[in-house]
Each structure stands twice: as C-alpha cells, then as structure tokens.
Amino acid sequence: DRQPVAAAQKAASNKPKAFDFKNLPQVQQLQLQRAAADMIGIENPFFRPHDGLAAGTTLIDGKPYDNFASYNYIGLNGHPDVNAAAKNALETFGTSVSASRIVAGERAFHAELEQGLARIHGVESAVVMVSGHATNVTTIGHLMKKGDLVLTDTLVHNSIAEGVRLSGATRINFPHDDLDALEQLLISNRHKFENVLVIVEGLYSMDGDFPDLKRVIKLKQDYDAWLMVDEAHSIGVLGKTGRGIAEHFGIDPQSVEIWMGTLSKTFSSCGGYIAGSKVLCDYLKVSAPGFVFSVGLSPALAGAAIASVKLLEREPERVARLQANGKHFLEYAKQAGLDTGPSRGYAVVPVIVGESATAAILSNKLLARGINALPIIFPAVPEKSARIRYFITSEHTFEQIERAVAITAEELAKLRKDGGAVERLLQ
Ligand code: PMP
C-alpha cells in the first residue's frame, strides 16, 4: 500500500524549507555583524593563515610579524627535543592508539607523561585526556551532580561553565577575584547543598591576574568545600621554577583537591589533564565519560608533552626569562599610559581600549606595523572593555616588547584623536 508513503511525501513537500543553517537566527546575526564590519572597512582579524612555527615572531603571507598571540609561553614548540620525542613516539607507535585506553590497553608513554605531570604539580597522580576543554567538561560534569553547588569566579573559562551545566549542579558566580563575595556565598549557601566545589584559575587569560590562593584554600577549608584550580595559563608561568600558583604562594599542592591543566600551552602539545590524589585520578580513569569513551592521547602528542615536562624541569631559566619579559611589558605599558586592567605582568597583559570595533581596528593597525596581537571583543568581555590581549613568551626580546607598547600607544592615541574611529567611519 503506497498511500501512507505518498501522504508523507506530500506533507514534506508542502512544508516550507525551513531547515537551512543560514536561516538560523544566530547564524544571521553573525552574518549581519560581519557585513557591518565589512561596510566600515574592518578586516576580519580572526582565522588569519600563518606559515610555519609561531614563537616571538610569526609569518603571515610570508612576512614576519612580532607575535603576541600565541600561548607558546616558554618557547618549547618546535624545540629539537620536543620534535624528536614526537617523531620517535610516532615511529614506534604510529599516529593513534586507536581506542580508549581501557580497551586499547596501556602504553608506557601515557604513564610516563602522567607521572611527569604529577611531579610538576607536586601531587600523587595525574590523568591525561585528549583536550583541555574536554577535561574540564567531563571532570566537572562527572564529579558534580544535581543538589551540589559550584562557585566560580565570573571570568572562568567556557569549558568550566560547560562542565557545570552538564553536571546539573547549581552554579553561582562571584565577581571577578572578589573573595569577600565568595565567603558570603559560602556562608549563605553551604548548608543547602551536599557537595560544594569552588573553581578558580591559576592565571586569568583575559585579565592576566590571579587569586590569593592562600585565602581561597582557607575559605574552602573553613566551609568544607572542594577546590579546583585551572592552571592552563599558570603552569610554566608562575612560581620560581614554573610549577604554577602553588609554588608562587609557597602552598602545599596537596591542599587543593583538583588541579587541572592543558598540554597545549607551556607543554607545546595538545590535550588536558587532572592532577591530584591517586583516588581521584583512578576514579576518573574508570568512570569519567571523556576518558572512558574517548581515545587515549596520541603517541606523538604524548611524546611532545613528555619532552616539554623534562625541559621545564631542566631549564627553569626559560620561566625566569618569561617572567622578566612579562614584567617589562607591564611596566612599559603603564609608563606609556595604557590601561592594563588588573594584569600582574605574568604572560598575559591586556590593553583595554573600550568598544569592540576600536579593538578590532587597533589590531589591524598594529598588523600593518608588523605586530600580531588580537582583539578580545564582546561577548568574550563586556562591550565597554574590549581589549588587545598580548601573550608574552620567553622568546620575545625587550626590543620587541618596547616596540609593541610604543606602537600600541601611538596608534591608540591616533584613533582617539580621530574622535572615535567607528563613529567617524559611519558618518
Ligand atoms: N582552561 C582554560 C583556562 C583555558 O584558557 C583553556 C583554553 N585556552 C582551556 C581550559 C582549554 O584548553 P585547550 O585549548 O587545551 O583545550
């Protein structure tokens, strides 16, 4: 009987052809924004093609630019030891471990990397996963549940927000780095929830500042909460030997329940990890969906990260160089009258300019003068605090830093003198 089929086909053909991605309101919104930017001549600063390895300098269209847009904090990307370790692992194990470690089995490099990361953090154990973002999502999503509370700094990374959403726990933000507000939230909410997790970052990548970890630890102890610290931007950056925020404050790393980090920045690889007690890491290895149901870290990526861990341990002078560069950038920018917000001068220094369009135009002006530094615009930051964000590495020279600051100040002054670049372009 063809009747039901014919009826279904007729119904489908009568239906307006609504399902086309370009009809989605959010897609249209983005297209509109792009069209408006094109109209006033703001070139898209994102997704620019680069050739070759980006360190203190990067090649765009074959031309070298001073580069302030990469997380290659201690310059290990492309280091001969890192490349050799990646190649060696690739030659021995191929490009993939082809399945979750639970079924595909363990290979020595996974354990070696996890032991190295545990050593760096000064804790018992670690577990590596295939991305930093996925590590936060699955760990928080898995450990917390409905009836629990997660207290987060308002500037925590998207992966943390996604993890809390997945978990079903209640999330309350405290204003950025306002630990009095955190305490108030603990006082008024602790008793209403079973487990409470406080999440902060070791270095905030929008503002370049970090919390008073001693006080955060005291608070979580006083109010019986767990503490998670995302060290994506602080490992290799803070502390005399780059061991992160615990070393910076002289804190026993075991007093934090969950350390999180990524392999994509200081460790010049790709992947994420949790470091902490053996109980926690063993539990995640048999139950966190992002570990259990996802492939193990690939051999070359693990090899690169192992070599990077060793280099961080062997060459603390890289950290010293990075710290000297960050401090120099911050001091110089302040002298030039730039608004660097609350940055403490460790690897991340924003220059806050106001409107998103001003930040985008300034970024293009910088590029025209040989400097690659990207704008951070709404909605990543509030509309009035759009900025150019400078990532400083151990590979920059003081000359590059001074030039970048001087040109930024000069171009920003010109834009301001023009009486609001966007308004003028729109007239
Ligand atoms: N946490 C923080 C604080 C981050 O900034 C990032 C990425 N920049 C991540 C987690 C995710 O790491 P990855 O990019 O290695 O996935």
Q: What is the pLDDT of residue 42?
A: 82
Query: What's the pLDDT tens digit per position in 126-156?
Result: 999 999 999 999 999 999 999 999 999 999 9
Ligand 1 site, residue 138, Cβ cutoff 6 A: no
User: DSSP string of 229-292?
Assistant: EE-TTTTTTSSTTS--HHHHHT--GGGSSEEEEESSSTT-S--EEEEE-HHHHHHHHHH-HHHH
Q: By three-state DSSP, how is residue 1 classified?
A: coil
Cα R_g (the chain), whole angstroms: 24
Give me ligand 1 centre to Cα 117, in Å.
17
Q: What is the pLDDT of residue 420?
A: 59
Ligand 1 site, residue 139, Cβ cutoff 6 A: no
Give me ligand 1 centre to Cα 163, in Å.
13
Q: What is the pLDDT of residue 162?
A: 98
Determine contact, residues 263/305, Cβ cutoff 8 Å.
Answer: yes
The residue whose CB lies within 8 Å of the most ligand 1 atoms, and thus the one to mutate among 71, 159, 204, 205, is 159
CA distance 283 to 115: 16
Residue with CA closest to ligand 1 atom 14: 132
CA distance 235 to 261: 8
Query: What's the pLDDT tens digit per position in 16-30?
Result: 666 788 889 899 988
Query: What is the number of alpha carbons within 13 Å of residue 159 lying toward its C-beta?
Result: 19
Query: Looking at residue 107, what DSSP letter applies?
Result: -
Ligand 1 site, residue 157, Cβ cutoff 6 A: yes
Give me ligand 1 centre to Cα 24, in Å.
28
Which atom belonging to ligand 1 lies closest to the Cα atom of 263? 15
Please give the domain boundaries of the chain with CATH numbers for all domains. Answer: 36-67+317-426 (3.90.1150.10), 80-314 (3.40.640.10)
Q: Please tell me which residue, 16 or 389, carries the higher pLDDT value.
A: 389
Q: What is the pLDDT of residue 426?
A: 47
Ligand 1 site, residue 285, Cβ cutoff 6 A: no
Give me ligand 1 centre to Cα 247, in Å.
21
Report whether pLDDT(378) > 90. Answer: no
Which atom belonging to ligand 1 lies closest to the Cα atom of 134? 16
Query: What's the pLDDT tens digit per position in 51-96?
Result: 988 888 999 989 999 999 999 999 999 999 999 999 999 999 999 9
Q: What is the pLDDT of residue 211?
A: 98
Query: What's the pLDDT tens digit per position in 251-293?
Result: 999 999 999 999 999 999 999 999 999 999 999 999 999 999 9
Could you tell me which residues are beta bridge partners of residue 258?
228, 276
Give me ligand 1 centre to Cα 25, in Å.
28
Ligand 1 site, residue 264, Cβ cutoff 6 A: yes
Q: What is the pLDDT of residue 248?
A: 98
pTM of the full structure: 0.93
Helix or strand holding residue 13 (H, E)? helix 3-14
**pLDDT, mean over the chain:** 94
Q: Which two tokens stand for residue 336?
A: 């030039």
Report whether pLDDT(228) > 60. Answer: yes
Determine contact, residues 225/197, Cβ cutoff 8 Å.
Answer: yes
What is the arithmetic mean of pLDDT over 382-410?
96
The residues annotated with a catalytic role in the active site are 205, 233, 265
Could you tell me which residues are beta bridge partners of residue 151?
172, 198
Query: What's the pLDDT tens digit per position in 340-365?
Result: 999 999 999 999 999 999 999 999 99
Residue that the structure tokens 């190649």 belong to: 87
Neighbours of 321 (CB within 10 A): 17
The residue whose CB lies within 8 Å of the most ligand 1 atoms, and thus the one to mutate among 264, 273, 348, is 264
* 5-14, 149-158, 219-228, 269-278: range with lowest mean pLDDT: 5-14
Give start and end residues of each alpha helix (H) in 48-194: 80-93, 101-104, 108-121, 132-143, 158-167, 179-189
Backbone angles phi, psi at 283, to 5 degrees: -65, -45
Q: What is the pLDDT of residue 423?
A: 53
Ligand 1 site, residue 322, Cβ cutoff 6 A: no
Give the list of residues 6+ apart from residue 73 with CB closer than 8 angstroms, or none: 233, 236, 237, 265, 266, 322, 347, 391, 393, 394
- What percent of the chain is modeled with pLDDT above 70? 96
Ligand 1 site, residue 394, Cβ cutoff 6 A: no
Angle at 304 between CA 292 and CA 306, to 5 degrees: 75
Query: What's the pLDDT tens digit per position in 303-312?
Result: 999 999 999 9
Backbone angles phi, psi at 274, to 5 degrees: -115, 135
One-letter amino acid at 90 equals L
- Give the residue from 375, 346, 359, 327 showing the smallest Cα distance to 204: 346
Query: What's the pLDDT tens digit per position in 240-253?
Result: 999 999 999 999 99
What is the arithmetic mean of pLDDT over 155-177?
98
Which atom belonging to ligand 1 lies closest to the Cα atom of 262? 15
Residue that the structure tokens 């969906």 belong to: 289
The DSSP bridge pattern shows strands 374-376 and 386-391 to be: antiparallel
Query: What's the pLDDT tens digit per position in 297-333?
Result: 999 999 999 999 999 999 999 999 999 999 999 999 9
Determine contact, residues 276/59, Cβ cutoff 8 Å.
Answer: no
CA distance 305 to 270: 8
ipTM rounded to 2 decimals: 0.99
Neighbours of 100 (CB within 10 A): 14
Give me ligand 1 centre to Cα 230, in Å.
9
